A and B are shown apart, each in its own frame.
Chain A
Amino acid sequence: MSLYNYVDPINANLTCCICRAPFTEPTTTLTCAHTFCADCILRALSNAPSCPVDRTPLAPTDLGPVNPIVRSLVDELRVECVYKADGCGYVSQRQVMPLHLRDECDYAEVRCEEKEDGKTCGSSMRRMELRAHQKKVHGLWEQEQEEESLLFEETDSEEAKENHTCPHASIGCPYSGPLEPSEHLPGCPYESLKGFFTTNNAKMSLLTEQNMVLRHKVDTLEHTVHMLRKEMNAAKNALGPWFRSSYQTMSLPAHGGVARSIAGAVGVASSDLPIRMQPAVAGPSTAGFEDSVDVLAPYFPAQDEMRRGRWTPSSMADSVYGRAGGVVAPLDLGTTLEGTLEGLRESVVGLALGVDSVGRRGEIALTNETLRLGEELMSVRAQMHGLRMQVHGMMMDRNASLTMREEAGAGMGPGGAYLRAHTNFGSITKL
């Protein structure tokens, strides 16, 4: 929450509904788009994990920075110096006030950093008292002390109406004497320069103010750069071997191509070329990326192998059986991540088509085989039938001859013979 008093009336849209003051470091909820001071909402969330306005569940991770326009609107509101009650009349944009308090304000609490006998003084006082303190306690500013005491004497004497100082004493006129300012001024060398000093002073204060604003901006920008760098590194890590700067992506295809053609035509030894220009024909390990990529290199074919269409399943088989490397996936590290994804997608489509045709071929083969088997079965069945008929015929003949034999020799136990014949018959007809 801001501790400043604002000079102008505040637009209600720019006030935080927790502290009822203009936003300090405005922060928006990503879930319900309510805006609060960063500090206010974090303290509220530590008390209850929901949005103070609509009570929907909310976590600190659901918070994001507000639109920069809103940020500027509140940062540029004019505020009074916090030491106004003590006498400082300074008014400035809110974003500049911390710098005023740190570097300028006469009423701000400062710490004497003077070192004496290796120990820092450390006593704190208002900035306006610092000089007197350092003079008195640490014996600094002695030379100026004399001048000042001189000035004091002059002031004393002025009170006694004996001596007059020049109105331009503040800008350097050393005159001190019996002449009234009106008498001294025509001859005063500083009189002719006073216009210069006035404009110069005005310019100075303008520049100081601008400088302060710029310093603040630089601070913020440095912070932003730091954040961006961190995010960039995280992104780099996430991208891994696919990350390359725009310089590399621009130069690699063109120069690489030229280098390759030169290498091919003139027969320059590839080792003479800078590493990024080496033609990548010697195999995946010289694909021309950072060393860290080499771990993955055997898994990825060199980019120009892909381009020239040399990368075929047979070359994959070569690399599988002929080289020490493992399986080679159809990835091309030479393009962007997007290009690689596109390539992968195409490969998947190709694979799907392949699987489809294999399936269809299998189906046809299966149908053919079934037909063939069916025919064979039919013929076997027919042959079987023939055989059965033959055996049947044979058995009939045998039965006939048996019966005749029985009728001839009726002295033998007829029941037994009859029974045997019938059992035989039965077993044969079962075939």
Chain B
Amino acid sequence: MASISSRRLAKELREIQSEGCPVGISLLEANDFAKWLFTIEVMGDSVYQGEVYTLQFRFDSHYPISSPAVQFVVTDGKEAPIHPHVYSNGHICASILGNEWSPVLSVIAVCVTLQSMLASCKKKERPTDNDRYVRNAPENPKKTLFHYDGEHYNFKSTYLQD
């Protein structure tokens, strides 16, 4: 019998396949219930016009109670968007992926949130502590505890112990 997380993911996948993804988002790969890939593109006027990024989701058996591990793919010549909330290793500092995750959210909801995060960006720049973070960052972005500081994100990052 399928686990709870894969049943829920199967439902989401069925919905994606029957109803399609929102504009600018498309499913690239979903061979199992452990890792999915999406392409994400900002539509309309924006500093990222014409750029396509690849978003990777990794799920553990506690999904949707625990959040998926989401990051931009930075291998095979792919790059992470230059954005004050996105580190050059693809890790994303977004409250929705951390302490504001809710089991009510879905994979598509995360994609749409990140798409609008990119769309609202006015100036392409890396987080101020990018170099320090990338040097010490864990492989799984979920192991990073980002600190959110209201609207102006404060990119102090600490690492959770294993």
Contacts and interface: CB of A to CB of B under 8 A. Distances in A.
A46 B103 CA distance: 12
A44 B7 contact: no
B41 to A, nearest CB: 27
A20 B11 contact: yes
Interface string B1-34: 1101001100110000000000000000000000
Interface string A42-59: 011011100011010000
Contact of A1 (B7, B62, B66): B7
A96 interface: no
B102 A21 contact: no
B90 interface: no
A252 interface: no
Interface in B79-103: 99-103
Nearest to B9: A20
A102 to B, nearest CB: 15
Contact of B65 (A21, A44, A55): A44
B7 A3 contact: yes
Given A44-B65, A47-B65, A20 B8 contact: yes
A52 B7 contact: no
B11 A55 contact: no
A19 B7 contact: yes
Given A20-B8, A40-B103, A3 B65 contact: no
A44 B103 contact: yes
Nearest to B2: A3
Nearest to A53: B104
Contacts of A1: 4, 7-8
A218 B8 CA distance: 32
B11 A3 contact: no
A281 B96 CA distance: 75
A52 B103 contact: yes
Given A40-B103, A53-B102, A53-B104, A18 B7 contact: no
A79 B129 CA distance: 54
B68 interface: no
Given A3-B7, A47-B65, A52-B102, A20 B1 contact: no
Contacts of B8: 1, 19-20
B104 A47 contact: no
B141 interface: no
A401 B127 CA distance: 119
Contacts of B7: 1, 3, 19, 21
B104 A52 contact: yes
Contacts of B11: 20-21
Contacts of B66: 47
Contact size range, B: 10 to 19
Nearest to B66: A47
Contacts of B103: 17-18, 40, 44, 47, 52
A83 B120 CA distance: 50
B2 A17 contact: no
A82 interface: yes
A426 B96 CA distance: 101
B96 to A, nearest CB: 11
Contacts of A19: 4, 7-8, 64
Nearest to A3: B1
Nearest to A42: B65
Contacts of B104: 17-18, 52-53
Contacts of A20: 8, 11-12
A45 to B, nearest CB: 10
Contacts of B4: 1, 19
B142 to A, nearest CB: 13
B64 A18 contact: yes
Contacts of B102: 48, 52-53, 55
Interface in A176-209: none
Contacts of B1: 3, 82
B94 to A, nearest CB: 16
Nearest to A5: B7
A19 B101 CA distance: 15
Interface string B90-126: 0000000001111110000000000000000000000
**Interface hub of A20, A21, A44 (most chain B Cβ within 10 A):** A20
Given A1-B8, A3-B2, A40-B103, 19 more contacts: A3-B7, A17-B103, A17-B104, A18-B64, A19-B7, A20-B8, A20-B11, A20-B12, A21-B11, A43-B62, A43-B65, A46-B65, A47-B62, A48-B101, A48-B102, A52-B103, A53-B102, A55-B100, A82-B1
The 9 tightest CB contacts between A and B, nearest first, are A18-B103, A52-B102, A52-B104, A17-B104, A20-B11, A52-B103, A43-B65, A44-B103, A47-B65
